[in-house]
Amino acid sequence: MSKELAKTYDPNGIEDRLYQKWLDKKYFHAEVDHSKTPFTIVIPPPNITGQLHMGHALDNTMQDILIRYKRMQGYNALWQPGTDHASIATEVKIIQKLKEEGIDKHDLGREKFLERAWEWKKEYGGRIISQLKKLGSSCDWDRERFTMDEGCNKAVTEVFVKMHEKGYIYKGARIVNWCPVCNTSISDAEVEYQEQAGHFWHIKYPLMNEDGTPSTTEFLTFATTRPETMLGDTAVAIHPDDERYTHLHGRKVLLPIVNRVIPIVEDAYVDREFGTGVVKITPAHDPNDFEVGKRHNLPVINILNDDATINKNGGKFEGMDRYEARKAIVEELDQMGLLVKIEDHVHNVGTHDRCKTTIEPMVKDQWFVKMDELIKPAREAVKNGEIKLIPERMEKNYFNWTDNIRDWCISRQLWWGHRIPAYYCDDCGEVVVAKEMPKVCPKCGCTHFTQDPDTLDTWFSSALWPFETLGWPEQTEDLKYFYPTDVLVTGYDIIFFWVIRMIFSGYEQMGEKPFKTVLFHGLVRDSQGRKMSKSLGNGIDPLEIISQYGADALRLTLITGNAPGNDMRFYYERVENSRNFANKVWNASRFIMMNMEQALEKTGKDITTPAAADLQPVDQWILSKLNTLVKDVTDNMDHFELGIAVQKVYDFIWDEFCDWYIEMVKPRLYSTDDAVSQNAALWTLKTVLIDALKLLHPYMPFITEEIFCTIQNEEESIMISKWPEYSEDRAFPAEEKAIETIKEAVRGIRNIRTEMNVAPSRKASVYVVSENDEIRKIFEEGKLFFASLAYANEIMIQADKTGIADDAVSVVIPGATLYIPFAELVDIAQEIERLKKEQKRLEGELSRSKGMLSNERFLSKAPEAKIAEEKEKLAKYEQMMEQVTKRLEQLA
C-alpha cells in the first residue's frame, strides 16, 4: 500500500476532482443493453430560471441515492436529466431585464423577444445543472433534454394534434385564473393563496313585487368579499331545502346600481349554515358561480378588462381600477341604504406566484383539455396498484383530484413556450389544427393563415416528460427498453399539476403507465417549522452549505430522519453532526490504513484472507453484524425507506465498528508476537470498512469514493462496485451473543467507574464469576480486549467468589457477576478527604439557602421566579449532602 488519505478530511479538496473523474469515465451514462435489467428515473425538470434550493437538494439527493444503489446492484441504471422552459417564470424575468434597459416587450415584437429568450436560456439555462453536479447528482448528462428542444417540440405538436382530432382538446369560453399584470391565464399551480386582511360587506338586494316594482320592505341579504363583482351578478342562490326561503322560490330581486332584475335560483351548492344562506351568483368571475350558471342557464357578464379595470358592462364605473370601483360601489350602496354592515375578515386570497398580483377568475376564450375520459385510466392505475404511491396516504389526495377534476386550461397569453398549432384562415376564420401551417383553407380555399398567438401551459409539455425524453413520438430503442420508468421522486405539492398529468398522458400516448412507483417527499422547512421563502428571508442556500460542510454532509442531513411525504426541519446543528460523522469515517479509515501499512513494513506481505479458524469471535461478531446490516438496509432501500436505511448504516459505523470493534482489536494490532491474529484483525477491519462504505456510498458518494479508491487497488471506483449481499456463511449468531455479553459487562463497569468518579487511567483488577462454562469461555477468549475496554490491569475468570474481598464493587449481567476490589478503584484516604471538603462546602450552601428562605423580607420582596430558583437550589444541595454523607459512611 503506497496510497494514503490526507491527514484531515477536506470535502472541497476532493469533491470536484472525483465528480470530474466520474464524468470522464462515463459512469453515469447508460445505453440499451439487453443483457441487463433497466432501471430508469426521470428528473423533475428544474426551471431554467431556477437557483438550487433545499427542495431541489432533497429531491435530487433522493433520486441519486436510488440510482446509485441500483447501479451497484447491477441494473442498467438511467437517470434522465433535463430542464423546463418555465413559460411564465422565464418571460417575467426577461420582461424585467428589458424594463431595466428601457425596452417594452411589445415594442420589441415577438420574434426579437424570442431571440432574447433563447439568449437568456443559453446564459442561465445551465446554471442549475452545474449546481446539481455540485450536489453529486449522477445523471446521464449526455442525454440532457430541454422541454423546448426539437424533440420535445415535435412530441408536444404530435400530442396536441392527435388529441384535438380525438375531441379531447377544444376551444371554448370557460372560467380561468387571470393575471391582470402578466395578462395571461395561469394554472392552479401558479396561484399562491395568501392570508390577507379584508372585509365582509353585507349587502341587501330588494325583492321584486308581483307588479314588477322593487319592494321597499322585503330584501335578501348576503355577504361578499368582492362587492365590485355585483356588476356582473346574474342571479342570487338559495338552497332548495332551506325552509327560511321556501316562499321565495321563483321570485326575483333587483340588482341595485345596475338596475337589472335577476332571478332567485335554488342550488345545492349553497351552504345553508354559512351566513344568511344566500349567495350572489357572478358566473363570469367565480368558478363555483360559473358551474351554478351552467346548471341554470344564466347569462355570463364579464365586467373586467384584461388589466382588471371595469369594462363597458360596468356602466358609469367603466375605466376604474377594480379596487377604486369597489370603494365607489360600497359608498353608493351605503347612500342607497343597501349596505347592512362591514365586518373585518381574514381570508385566503389567490395571488400569482410570480408577480404577486391578486388573480381574477374570468371567463375567457381559451384552449382546454377535456378530462372526464382521460382521467379514468389514471384513477384506475392507482386504485388497482399498477402504480404505487408512497406513502400510501397520498392516494386520498390523488383521488380527491381525479374525482373532482375539471377541464384543463392549456393556453397562455405568452410568447415564450410551445406555440399552439392552430391556424386561422384570414378570409373565413376557419380553424385548422395541424402539425404545420396549412397551405389551403379546407372551407374557402384561401391560402393565407395566421397562427394562434397563444402558447401552451408549461405542464402540457412536462406531462410528456417520461416518454418524450426517450425519443417519442419515434419508436426508438431507448423508448422500448427504458420505458416505463421505475420511480418518480417528487414533492407532494405537485401531485395534481404534474404527477396526475404524466400518468394520464402515459396511458393516452403510450398505452402504458409512465412509472411504477411515485415516491413523495415533504418540504424542507426552517428550524422553526416555517416554509422557506424570500419574504421571510429564511431561505438557506444549499451551495453555501456545500461550500462550508461538503455535499456529503448536506446529503446525509437531508435524508437522516426523512420519512416519505413528511416535511422536515433544517438545523445547522444536524449538518455539523453529519460533518462530524464524515470525519469519524475518515479518521477510522486512516487508522486502519496506517496499521495495514505498518504491518506491510514489518512482514513485507499484504493482508491476506484468513482461514476461517483464524478469525476470532470478535471478528465473527462484526462480520455477522455487518451481514445483518446488509440484509436490513437492502430491504429498507427496496421499500424506499431511505431515512431508516441510512440511520442503520450510520449507527453501525459509528457505534459497532468505530466505538467497539476498532477498540476491541487494538491490542492485537499493537501485538508483535501473533502475526496470524494481527492479519485476521486487519483483514476484518478492511473487509468491514469496504462493505460499510458501499452501503454508505449512495448517501455520501464523495467520501466513500475517496476512501475506497485509496484502501484497495482491485476496483477503480466504488460507484461501479458490487452492492454487498447477505450470506449465510457470514452469520455467526453464537459469536454475536458472546460479544454482546462482553459489551454489556464493559458498559456496566464503565457506568460504575463514572458514578464513582474513577479516572480511566486508574486500572483495577476485574473478577468474572460465573457457574456457566460457556460464559467463562466467552470472557477467556475475549480477555485481551476486555481488559483494555474495562480499564483492567488483570482479568480473573472463575466459577465462584473465592478470594474476592467483601467490599468489592459488583456489576451483574445475565449469567455472571463482575467484581472490582473497592480499594483498587479508590484511594480511600484521599477520597475521604475530598468528600469531607465537599461536605463542608455543602453545609455552607445549605445554611445560606435556608437563611434566605426563612427571611420574611426576602420572601415578601423577591420575584416569584427568584424564590422558586432558591427552593430548587436548596433541594439540590440537600440531595447532594445526602449522597456525600452516605458515601462517607460506606468508606468508614
Question: What is the band of 101 on the pLDDT scale with cuts at 50, 70, 90?
Answer: very high
Q: Any idea what DSSP says for residue 36?
A: S
Average pLDDT over residues 298-302: 96
Residue 157 one-letter amino acid: T
Picking from 607, 621, 620, the residue whose alpha carbon sits closest to that of residue 679 is 607
pLDDT at 546: 94
Among the ranges given (183-192, 312-321, 404-413, 514-523), the one the predictor scored with the smallest mean pLDDT: 183-192
Q: Answer whether residue 535 shows pLDDT above 80.
A: no
**Three-state SS for 218?**
strand
Average pLDDT over residues 56-60: 93
**Three-state SS for 571?**
coil
Q: pLDDT tens, 378-397? A: 999 999 999 999 999 999 99
Adjacent-strand bridge partners of 199: 344
In angstroms, what CA-CA distances link 807 with 810, 823, 843?
Answer: 9, 8, 29
What is the full DSSP assignment across 325-356? HHHHHHHHHHHTT-EEEEEEEEEEEEEETTT-
Residues 235/262, Cβ–Cβ less than 8 Å: yes
Q: Give the mean pLDDT of the chain.
A: 92
Q: pLDDT tens, 544-553? A: 999 999 999 9
Residues 505, 65, 82, CA angle at the centre, nearest 5°? 45
The Cβ of residue 399 has, within 10 Å, a number of other Cβ atoms equal to 13
Question: What is the band of 292 on the pLDDT scale with cuts at 50, 70, 90?
Answer: very high
Number of H helices, E strands in the chain: 30, 29
Question: What is the band of 721 on the pLDDT scale with cuts at 50, 70, 90?
Answer: very high
Average pLDDT over residues 280-309: 95
Contact partners, residue 715, CB within 8 Å, separation at least 6: 708, 721
State how beta strands 278-281 and 339-352 pair. unpaired
Q: Assign domain 736-826 one CATH number from 1.10.150, 3.30.70, 1.10.287, 3.30.2320.
A: 3.30.2320
Among the ranges given (176-185, 542-551, 688-697, 802-811), the one the predictor scored with the smallest mean pLDDT: 802-811
Q: pLDDT tens, 152-172? A: 999 999 999 999 999 999 999
Question: What is the band of 294 on the pLDDT scale with cuts at 50, 70, 90?
Answer: very high
Q: Answer whether residue 564 shows pLDDT above 90.
A: no
In angstroms, what CA-CA distances link 608 with 1, 676, 680?
Answer: 13, 10, 8
What phi and psi, each to the nearest 5 degrees, are found at residue 363?
-80, 120
Check residues 563 and 701 and name the one with the higher pLDDT. Answer: 701
Average pLDDT over residues 315-330: 95
d(CA 491, CA 522): 6
Q: pLDDT tens, 116-129? A: 999 989 888 888 99
Place of cell 454508505: 696
pLDDT at 556: 97
In angstroms, what CA-CA distances link 81 with 142, 200, 457, 724, 891?
Answer: 9, 49, 21, 28, 73
Q: pLDDT tens, 653-677? A: 999 999 999 999 999 998 767 889 9
pLDDT at 703: 98
Q: Answer whether residue 2 shows pLDDT above 60.
A: no
pLDDT at 346: 85
pLDDT at 581: 97
pLDDT at 145: 96
Question: What is the band of 89 on the pLDDT scale with cuts at 50, 70, 90?
Answer: confident
pLDDT at 79: 98
Helix spans in 469-526 (H): 477-482, 501-510
Annotated binding residue 133 = no
pLDDT at 404: 87
CATH code of domain 829-891: 1.10.287
d(CA 232, CA 253): 14
Domain 191-361 belongs in CATH node 1.10.1060.10: no
Which pTM value belongs to this model? 0.86
Q: pLDDT tens, 575-608? A: 999 999 999 999 999 999 999 999 888 888 888 9
Domain ranges of the chain: 191-361, 575-735, 736-826, 829-891
Question: What is the band of 752 on the pLDDT scale with cuts at 50, 70, 90?
Answer: confident
What is the full DSSP assignment across 685-737? HHHHHHHHHHHHTTTSHHHHHHHHHHH-SS-S-GGGSPPP---GGG--HHHHH
Contact partners, residue 175, CB within 8 Å, separation at least 6: 283, 284, 285, 286, 287, 290, 361, 362, 363, 364
Average pLDDT over residues 769-791: 92
CATH code of domain 575-735: 1.10.730.10
d(CA 412, CA 89): 12
In angstroms, what CA-CA distances link 256 with 203, 230, 329, 608?
Answer: 10, 9, 10, 96
Average pLDDT over residues 219-231: 94
d(CA 371, CA 635): 39
Adjacent-strand bridge partners of 345: 198
d(CA 14, CA 551): 11
Q: pLDDT tens, 830-864? A: 778 877 888 899 999 999 999 999 998 888 888 88
Question: What is the band of 807 on the pLDDT scale with cuts at 50, 70, 90?
Answer: confident
pLDDT at 55: 86
pLDDT at 579: 96
pLDDT at 534: 67
Average pLDDT over residues 521-543: 81
Check residues 196 and 422 and name the one with the higher pLDDT. Answer: 422
Residues 136/15, Cβ–Cβ less than 8 Å: yes
Picking from 512, 681, 682, 680, the residue whose alpha carbon sits closest to that of residue 597 is 682
